[in-house]
A and B are shown apart, each in its own frame.
Chain A
Amino acid sequence: MTAAAEHMPRPKTSSRFLRRSLPYLLSLPALIVCIGILIPFFTAVYYSLLRFRLNLPALKGFIWFDNYLNFLTDAAFWNTVKISLVYAGLTVGVELLLGLGIALLLQKPTRFNNLASILLLLPLMTAPALAALMWKLMTNPNFGILSYLVSLLGFTNFKWASDPSTALLTVTLVDVWVYTPFIMILLLAGLRSLPKAPFEAAALDGVPRSFVFFRITLPMLLPYIITASLFRLLDSIQQFDIVYSMTQGGPGDTLMVFQVQSYLEFFQYTNVGRSAALLIVLWAITYFLSNIFIKQWLKLRERAHGVA
């Protein structure tokens, strides 16, 4: 397709210069508006190289990479890395499968399906911090409707987020409830814009449905799946609202994910250096993971549209 674009006949009026600069003219405003926001990023990198606690001003000083080196031997840090990755993997995985399933169920553009797909967005429209408060109430052992329903099923001592063994499960449940609709709506839009021809041909030939799904639907949908899971991953590994509102990272250190830890480090302990270093590590992990996704995405695009 790029080839096609290159060979587009140009109306006489547009100069060669304008033609060349058009893509830049189109994309640079977005970049310029955003780049200013990146300056604080470098300030934060600088902070991460400092011994910098707001309430111990006498100790402030440049310490190169000591904040980072300290992480290497810090069990709490590795726990945070582990929990963040597990959390992100679990939530994105479940949400992707569930979101894809729901999108397939609602694929036909009937009035009911359209309405259902909009109604399913409701959890996403509930701010996660408030949603978590409501879930906390619904899982309350005394007044919670969910605790009550679960107790009717015989689980009278199910402690939801308050027990180390079920805390991750509970918080994942809330995350899945809030964010599955995000994946669902993107994949539904993707599914509905797939070309019809291959499916019609397959139906005429009597190709088994599972074959159609795995060999036609899924590959064609893959770019959408990658975009949707990429954005979910970016948010999920940086999870804060739900975990903080429900357990503050506990019980113990069961759910001490990156953003909760660095939030505490900054806002409660005023340990700016350590907080910044934690966030830079989180940034690096996010960068690395997204890069994998983007590479995959670009490769698929190339294949789908043919190499120029």
Chain B
Amino acid sequence: MYEKEKGLFDAFVAGKLSRRELLSASAKLGISAAAGGMLLTQAQTRAMAADFDWMAFKGTKLKLLLNKHPYADAMIANLKTFKDMTGMDVTYDVFPEDVYFDKVTAALSSGSSEYDAFMTGAYMTWTYGPAGWIADLNDYIKDPAKTNPNYNWDDVLPGLRASTAWNGVPGGELGSADAKQWCIPWGYELNNISYNRKMFEKAKVEPPKNLDELVATAAKLTKDLGGPYGIGVRGSRSWATIHPGFLSGYSNFGQKDFTVANGKLTAAMNTAESKAFHKQWVQMIQESGPKNWSTYTWYQVGTDLGAGASAMIYDADILGYFMNGGDNKEKGNIGYAPFAANPKAKAPTPNVWIWSLALSNFSGQKDAAWYFMQWASSVEHDLFGARKMDFVNPVRASVWKDEEFRSRIDKSYPGYLNQHDTSAPGAKIYFTAQPLFFDLTTQWAETLQKMVAKELPVDEGLDKLAANVDKQLKDAGLG
């Protein structure tokens, strides 16, 4: 190795050198792009290797359970770095998203030791944690013998660290002092407006700033564009309908799903403010939502925006991100805007979905598996994924400061950085952590469907839902 080049790349990895500086400097030294990539990988390894024995589990074979997802793709593309650095072998099973969590539940509920670590969403850990299927990662993060000194856990966005930590008490606050770290945030999405800039220009509207404007803008778009509908929000009979735009807007009005008092939960969806919010939401879907709203899942939200069937979506920002590329008809036309539903709110309060990594309690080689997890969630890998792959949104503050990543995003995704930076401070999980999360949230979606279909008035529907939810909480000893 030539010392000069080595020093150059080390400086880059340590953040002392920008991408541009690195490129011009390496060009001066006559390093080709390919060789540069190789040197960069080696630099990644050297940066991480400082004062830590990465080879401790040399020869160990790990197996991962992964969802078919760009995050997993980015990891697989960089996996050789980990294998070279640790001498471990890593194999993986990738399952389609449609059936992924079924596979996880099946594997873990049978106590299978096949998988050492796996991808999960934060909500799922509210099941896996109490069921005893996953390990508390605080035991690893806080142990200097197990975690490399450069791991820099505090660099992970605080809202995400808190959202993936829960003390296991129903209604217990996320990220409390006694919380267990059930998983490590890996990549995340927050919910804002993604819109078709051409259509907005044509209809002469601006991205809406609050719910009143959203309802009005969506209606105007639907009317003026003559074809595309105004707003895409999820609607299928699933908890997944509640967690994106809907809960983000709902939380912005200070509304909660439950109130917690003396360790008991009570439904809080039938307050006057909640009813007003639901009425506006239902009206918006009826006036300017998709016709197939009640069977409308995340991929249709995206597909419709990408194919020019909808003018805007209030859903995951990365869905809008993906629709701006690929073979989508509207690629290059998508813009992004932060959104605070409540006109009186100071900032958006997006609820988040966090793809995370969890450590299986049934694994026979947890320490080795943790080596993989800390590598996969390291600054170095996060940076690699964010710059070179679609590892968006990265979870680390330092990556969001990376100039190369920022300029890549800013160039092709106008407004994306702004919507993220504006919303990130308020981005966290706004649900109350409790074991009946999936049952009760799915019922919420079911009720919403009945309201939109005009089978049930909003006020009556929410009172019924709350009564029903309270009964189930009581039956489970939680209410």
Residues of A that sit less than 8 Å from B by CB: 53-57, 59, 136, 139-143, 157, 159-164, 246-253, 264, 266-271
The answer, yes or no, to whether B459 is at the interface (CB within 8 Å) is no
The answer, yes or no, to whether B141 is at the interface (CB within 8 Å) is no
Which B284-310 residues sit within 8 Å CB-CB of chain A?
A: 290-296, 300, 304, 307, 309
In the bound complex, do residue A250 and residue B294 qualify as a contact, i.e. CB atoms below 8 Å apart? Answer: yes
Q: A162: which of B126, B239, B291, B436 is its contact (CB, 8 Å)?
A: B291
Q: How far is the CB of B290 from chain A (nearest CB, A)?
A: 7
A175 to B348 CA separation, bound complex (whole angstroms): 45
In the bound complex, do residue A142 and residue B307 qualify as a contact, i.e. CB atoms below 8 Å apart? Answer: yes
The answer, yes or no, to whether B442 is at the interface (CB within 8 Å) is yes
- Please name all residues of chain B whose beta carbon is closer than 8 Å to the beta carbon of A141 when the two chains form the complex: 290-292
Instruction: Count contacts on B: residues with CB < 8 A to the other chain.
Output: 39
In the bound complex, do residue A252 and residue B446 qualify as a contact, i.e. CB atoms below 8 Å apart? Answer: yes
Q: How far is the CB of B67 from chain A (nearest CB, A)?
A: 15
Besides A57-B132, A248-B295, A268-B442, 20 more A-B contacts (Cβ < 8 Å) are A53-B435, A54-B109, A56-B476, A56-B477, A57-B131, A142-B309, A159-B291, A161-B295, A162-B291, A162-B293, A246-B295, A247-B237, A247-B294, A250-B236, A250-B449, A252-B450, A252-B453, A266-B105, A267-B105, A270-B131
A270 to B446 CA separation, bound complex (whole angstroms): 19
In the bound complex, do residue B294 and residue A269 qualify as a contact, i.e. CB atoms below 8 Å apart? Answer: no
Subset of 24 A-B contacts with CB under 8 Å = A55-B435, A141-B290, A142-B304, A162-B295, A162-B296, A164-B455, A247-B237, A247-B295, A248-B236, A248-B237, A248-B238, A251-B450, A251-B453, A252-B237, A252-B453, A252-B455, A267-B101, A268-B101, A268-B239, A268-B442, A269-B438, A270-B127, A270-B131, A271-B439
A59 to B436 CA separation, bound complex (whole angstroms): 13
In the bound complex, do residue B295 and residue A136 qualify as a contact, i.e. CB atoms below 8 Å apart? Answer: yes
A252 to B292 CA separation, bound complex (whole angstroms): 13
Given A248-B238, A250-B446, also A143-B290 (CB < 8 A):
no
Given A267-B102, A270-B105, also A251-B449 (CB < 8 A):
yes
Nearest CB to that of A56 among chain B residues?
B435
The answer, yes or no, to whether B425 is at the interface (CB within 8 Å) is no
| Chain B 443-479 interface mask (CB, 8 Å, partner A; 1/0) | 0001001100101000000000000000000001100
Closest 9 interchain pairs by CB?
A250-B237, A251-B294, A141-B291, A142-B309, A162-B292, A55-B127, A252-B450, A268-B438, A248-B237
A162 to B477 CA separation, bound complex (whole angstroms): 36
Given A57-B132, A250-B449, also A269-B439 (CB < 8 A):
yes
A contact face: mostly helix, strand, loop, or mixed: loop
- Of A164, A253, A267, most B-chain CB atoms within 10 Å: A267
Nearest CB to that of B101 among chain A residues?
A267
A281 to B295 CA separation, bound complex (whole angstroms): 28
The answer, yes or no, to whether B15 is at the interface (CB within 8 Å) is no
In the bound complex, do residue A251 and residue B237 qualify as a contact, i.e. CB atoms below 8 Å apart? Answer: yes
A282 to B130 CA separation, bound complex (whole angstroms): 30
- Please name all residues of chain A whose beta carbon is closer than 8 Å to the beta carbon of B129 when the two chains form the complex: 55
In the bound complex, do residue B435 and residue A160 qualify as a contact, i.e. CB atoms below 8 Å apart? Answer: no
Q: B292: which of A140, A249, A253, A271 is its contact (CB, 8 Å)?
A: A140
A266 to B450 CA separation, bound complex (whole angstroms): 24
Q: How far is the CB of B229 from chain A (nearest CB, A)?
A: 9
In the bound complex, do residue A269 and residue B436 qualify as a contact, i.e. CB atoms below 8 Å apart? Answer: yes
Nearest CB to that of A269 among chain B residues?
B439
- Please name all residues of chain B whose beta carbon is closer than 8 Å to the beta carbon of A253 when the two chains form the complex: 446
A270 to B125 CA separation, bound complex (whole angstroms): 12
Which B303-326 residues sit within 8 Å CB-CB of chain A?
A: 304, 307, 309
In the bound complex, do residue A55 and residue B130 qualify as a contact, i.e. CB atoms below 8 Å apart? Answer: yes
Nearest CB to that of B239 among chain A residues?
A268
- Please name all residues of chain B whose beta carbon is closer than 8 Å to the beta carbon of A160 when the two chains form the complex: 292
- Please name all residues of chain A whose beta carbon is closer than 8 Å to the beta carbon of B131 when the two chains form the complex: 54-55, 57, 270
